[in-house]
Amino acid sequence: MSRTAAIHRATSETDIRLRLNLDGRGKSQISTGIRFFDHMLDLVARHGAFDLNVAAKGDLDVDQHHTVEDVGIALGEAVQKSLGSKKGILRAGYFLMPMDETLAAAAIDLSGRPRCVFHAKIRAAKVGDFTVELLEDFFQGFAQTAKANVHLRCLYGRSSHHQVEALFKAFARALRFAVSRDRRLKNVLPSTKELL
């Protein structure tokens, strides 16, 4: 059964078309108008082993906020939609991602309850052309529409570039585990409540 989704999110601030295949090969085509953000979304596809296409047009003349947050919202919606009944998935995943002098951690539970906890002290206001404070907005948007617990922490690091990149890689790897299927439990919903 194909675990794919196509999302079109259009507002007065953004127009986003996103396609996701959870069982992909890490291929991506990304265009958001923010080059460093494109690179981070490419990492999500590659490290998550997802196929991800994102074409986003936003009011970047105002600032990057609407584009970054709305892409997070669209990605979360695509994950939620592509999972279907959620039967047979592992449901939760975590990952520690080292990147040179930096270490980042991510834990995700596709619990049906949206919550994002984000802890990262990153010195730079911008990495490349990306506004760093929008990291949390992206992950908050994702958690909301994926209906997931998303916990992210940068434990330490010197390079702001490495810190941001390690967070995205850890997120992708944790999500990869959470959406993975367990053949032994293929008809079982991973919850004693029988509801996710």
pLDDT of residue 152: 98
Q: Are strands 28-31 and 115-119 parallel, antiparallel or unpaired?
A: unpaired
Per the CB < 8 A criterion, the answer to whether 67 and 60 are in contact is yes
How many beta carbons lie within 10 A of that of residue 158, not counting itself?
11
pLDDT in tens, 169-195: 999 999 999 999 998 888 877 777 777
**Which parts of the chain register pLDDT below 50?**
none
156 close to 102: Cβ distance less than 8 angstroms:
yes
* Residue from 124, 119, 142, 114 nearest 48 by CA: 142
DSSP 3-state of 129: coil
CA neighbours closer than 13 Å in the CB half-sphere of residue 8: 0
* Cβ neighbours of 193 (radius 10 Å): 8
pLDDT reported for residue 119:
98
Residues 107, 119 contacting (CB under 8 angstroms):
no
Contact between 84 and 196 under an 8 Å Cβ cutoff? The reply is: no
Q: What's residue 196's pLDDT?
A: 74
Helices 35-48 and 160-179 pack at an angle, to 10 degrees, of: 40
- Residue-wise pLDDT for 91-109, tens only, equals 999 999 999 999 999 999 9
Spatial CB neighbours of 185, under 8 Å, sequence gap ≥ 6: 88
